[in-house]
């Protein structure tokens, strides 16, 4: 069995690999990576980041977002969101957006991974999961970037705040909110 075949045997469909992960199976990893990309076994997503396509009845499935970002950041401390998540709050947001945001403690900027673009936002604190309280704070943080009527949405946010856990909301505002967001919620929660 050739070294290339031995490397191929260790690859799992649907998995994302860093170049470094593959070094344990190949002494000529760069040459083997080039061959595997050429023959379609691997797809190059970014510098040093590769994906083994998983076949479905509809063709090749893209990499799982969480797995992709975990490999890219080399960390699991991130929160993947979208402005579309605000639509679940019932505060008048109805637009659909293509962009995905990744709150994390390492990277900042827009990165193209494969054929998808992610906006990485570095924050000193990243919540473990998306909650209504988090979405409300994040919505007010990003209100000027949305295609909604700002004043109408903020009025509905004020109403929505009344039915939320004030202690949890205040903690998120203080840890995650921008200065204007903190002022907005402090006037409501005082």
Give mean pLDDT, residues 31-38: 94
Buried b (16+ CB within 10 A) or exposed e, 148-179: beeeebbebbeebbeeeeeeebbebbeebbee
Residue 167's pLDDT band, with cuts at 50, 70 and 90, is: very high
Give mean pLDDT, residues 158-165: 91
In the numeric block, the tokens 């050739």 are attached to 2
- Strand pairing report for 78-82 and 116-122: unpaired
User: Is residue 182 packed enough to be buried (19+ CB in 10 Å), middle (13-18) or exposed (0-12)?
Assistant: middle
Q: What's the pLDDT at 114? A: 87
Residue 133's pLDDT band, with cuts at 50, 70 and 90, is: very high
Output the average pLDDT for the chain: 92
Give mean pLDDT, residues 74-86: 95
Domain extents for the chain? 3-61, 75-189
The model's pLDDT over 96-126, given as tens digits with 9 standing for 90+, comes to 998 899 999 999 999 999 889 999 999 998 9
- Per-residue pLDDT at 1 exceeds 70: no
Give mean pLDDT, residues 87-104: 93
Distance CA 172, CA 168 (A): 6
Q: Is the dihedral of CA 171, 173, 177, 178 positive or negative?
A: negative
């Amino acid at each position: 069995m050739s070294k290339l075949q031995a490397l191929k045997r260790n690859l799992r469909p649907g998995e994302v690999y860093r170049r470094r992960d593959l070094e344990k199976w190949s002494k000529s990893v760069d040459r083997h990576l080039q061959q595997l990309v050429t023959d379609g076994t691997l797809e190059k997503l970014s510098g040093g980041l590769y994906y083994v396509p998983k076949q479905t009845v509809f063709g090749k499935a893209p990499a799982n977002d969480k797995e992709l970002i975990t490999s890219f950041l080399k960390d699991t401390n991130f929160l993947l969101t979208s402005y579309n998540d605000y639509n679940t709050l019932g505060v008048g947001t109805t637009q659909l957006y293509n962009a995905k945001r990744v709150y994390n403690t390492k990277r900042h900027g827009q990165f193209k991974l494969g054929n998808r673009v992610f906006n990485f936002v570095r924050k000193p604190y990243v919540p473990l999961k998306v909650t209504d309280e988090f979405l409300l704070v994040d919505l007010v943080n990003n209100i000027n970037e949305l295609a909604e009527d700002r004043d109408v949405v903020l009025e509905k946010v004020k109403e929505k705040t009344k039915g939320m856990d004030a202690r949890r909301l205040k903690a998120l505002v203080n840890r995650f909110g921008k200065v204007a967001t903190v002022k907005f919620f402090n006037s409501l929660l005082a």
